[in-house]
Amino acid sequence: MNNKFAIRILVLDDEPFMLKLLCRMLENSGFSSVSTCDNGRAALELLDRTNCHPDLILLDINMPEMDGVEFVRHLVEHHYSGALILVSGEDERVLQSVEKLVRAHKISVLGYLTKPVIPARLAELIDKWMPPAQVAIEAAKRIYSAEELGEAMVSGELVNYYQPKVDVATGEVVGVETLVRWRHPSDGMVYPDKFITLAEEHGLIDELTRVVLSGALNQSRTWRDAGMPLRVAVNVSMDNLVSLNFLNNVVELTSKAGVPPQEVVLEVTESRLMTDLRVPLEILTRLHLKRFRLSIDDFGTGNSSLTQLRNIPFVELKIDQSFVHGAWANDTQRAMFNASHGLATQLKMESVAEGVEDRADWDFVRHQGCDLAQGYFIARPMPAEDLPAWLVDWKRRCPELVLQ
């Protein structure tokens, strides 16, 4: 738990009763430095007093004169470096929209509370608070160059981790998704969000994908020889699909590794719109004809949408984690999940729920009849050598999860 006495909290709400209620909740939880304002302009004046700068603001969204959305814009102008908790009686979808807006403004938001506020939920959100210096350290992003990434591929610093996919009905482990990591000699483990875009922008994505695919196929062969025939999935960038050489490379590497094409899943995410679909469509259609499994990744986000389902012969639909984790308690997410899953069912595609983070998520996707699941509740991505031990532990856990 954070040092409560070190957190300066401002409660901003136009309703006197809510101000008193929230202050009482905070005091009962041990927070001693709490101030209040009943309008946005007074709160901004308070921010201008450096000795009273709040670390955390409980912000009501719907207020007269200056509403919470406008107040957030003024926070940006005031270079506010603290965090927010949104509070409102508005529809949950409105709260979610404002939360996204706050994040887009690069202001830390710990979450939102619906009225009437539950004290335990308030305490849970405040527990997420971190001092600004710590937030800055965690948010700091090391910028890498294309030259560094190119050298890393040559020197073997890129390593594959594997996250299991399991059959939701039986618990059977049917495959793994390959997730590349950069084992940097001085920075430690670097995650793909730090270098995939770099590879795409500097013409390195073909070589990066080749390194990842080659390693995954060789590992698949090793597992098969050890009596563990697992489907292996590899992420494919749309930038890989601008040259027919990609098709030849996939076929050649798969044949060389001795892995059946139907046991290879190519997960396609369209992170940017393609102006000319002729070559990508040819590559993906021919891969399908050669019995490779095509998966549409992060469905419902970015550009991965109904158009791609219509144009490309996908056999697997991955429901994005933003529609899965917590969907059991969120009407909007549940509707998105059900729409995606229903579409997969109607199109006779295998559905995969990403982001199964806890038992409630697992029970939800089981109840909804999803085919496969992956997420931290099942397993975190792991080095290949850790998979056998995880399998033993999963077999121990599995009966209790599927025999309900």
The CA distance from 207 to 220, in Å, is 20
139 pLDDT band, cuts 50/70/90, is: very low
132: pLDDT strictly greater than 90: no
Angle at 75 (CA atoms; ends 71, 79), nearest 5 degrees: 170
Residue with more model confidence, 92 or 144: 144
**Weakest mean pLDDT among 161-165, 171-175, 326-330:** 326-330
332 pLDDT band, cuts 50/70/90, is: confident
- pLDDT tens string 164-187: 999 999 999 999 999 999 999 988
Produce one character per residue of 340-375: b if its CB has 16 or more CB atoms within 10 Å, e if not: bbebbeeeebbbbbbbbbeeebbebbbebebbbbbb
271: pLDDT strictly greater than 60: no
Position 302 scores a pLDDT of 62
Domain boundaries, the chain: 4-139, 146-402
Position 137 scores a pLDDT of 47
pTM over 0.85: no
Minimal CA–CA distance to 84: which of 60, 115, 48? Answer: 60
Position 215 scores a pLDDT of 98
Position 1 scores a pLDDT of 43
CB neighbour list of residue 377: distance below 8 Å, 6 or more residues apart? 356, 357, 358, 359, 361, 362
The CA distance from 91 to 109, in Å, is 18
30 pLDDT band, cuts 50/70/90, is: confident
For domain 4-139, the CATH superfamily is: Response regulator (3.40.50.2300)
Give the mean model confidence (pLDDT) for residues 218-243.
Answer: 95
Average pLDDT in the chain: 90
CB neighbour list of residue 97: distance below 8 Å, 6 or more residues apart? none
Position 50 scores a pLDDT of 59
Position 216 scores a pLDDT of 98
152: pLDDT strictly greater than 80: yes
259, 224 Cβ separation under 8 angstroms: yes
Compute CA distances 190 → 224, 308, 382, whole Å.
Answer: 29, 31, 14
The CA distance from 27 to 23, in Å, is 6
Topology adopted by domain 146-402: TIM Barrel (3.20.20)
**Weakest mean pLDDT among 155-169, 171-185, 287-301:** 287-301
Position 343 scores a pLDDT of 94
Position 4 scores a pLDDT of 55
Minimal CA–CA distance to 130: which of 314, 2, 14, 276? Answer: 2
